[in-house]
Amino acid sequence: DIQMTQSPSSLSASVGDRVTITCRTSQSISSYLNWYQQKPGKAPNLLIYGVSSLQSGVPSRFSGNGSGTDFTLTISSLQPEDFATYYCQQSYSSPPEATFGQGTKLEIK
């Protein structure tokens, strides 16, 4: 099984800050790395798929990068609506099982 390590588990930042969340996998997963945002009481929302492709409707301040086993999600200038929990997800394996990272809770400083 592919293990995922997401860091940090929590992060305090201010509006306008640039923040980066990291996801590391136990083996190479090519480009099958995706990022989600989840707000309290709501379903997750796909932000980034295939490492760096922005899902339709997602603001361009969100970006993804990485390859192999190390991946990042960056928010270039935090907005009030960005305070939420973020999850990475991989589905490289066959059959297509999915694994989520532990989540990063982004809080207002």
Which spans of this chain sit near other proteins (rule: CB under 8 A)?
31-34, 36, 38, 42-46, 49-51, 53, 55, 87, 89-92, 95-103
Q: Of the two residues 42 and 109, which places its CB atom closer to other proteins in the complex? A: 42
Nearest distance from C-beta of residue 102 to other proteins, angstroms: 5
Beta bridge partners of 45: 37
Nearest distance from C-beta of residue 43 to other proteins, angstroms: 4
Q: Of the two residues 38 and 76, which places its CB atom closer to other proteins in the complex? A: 38
Per-position b or e across 31-55, b if 16+ CB within 10 A of its CB: ebbbbbbeeeeeebeebbbebbeee
Q: How many residues does the chain have?
A: 109
Nearest distance from C-beta of residue 57 to other proteins, angstroms: 11
Q: Of the two residues 17 and 49, which places its CB atom closer to other proteins in the complex? A: 49
| Residue 8 vs residues 14, 46, 52: alpha-carbon distances, Å | 16, 20, 20
Q: Of the two residues 19 and 101, which places its CB atom closer to other proteins in the complex? A: 101
- Quote the Cα angle for 52-56-14, to 5°: 70
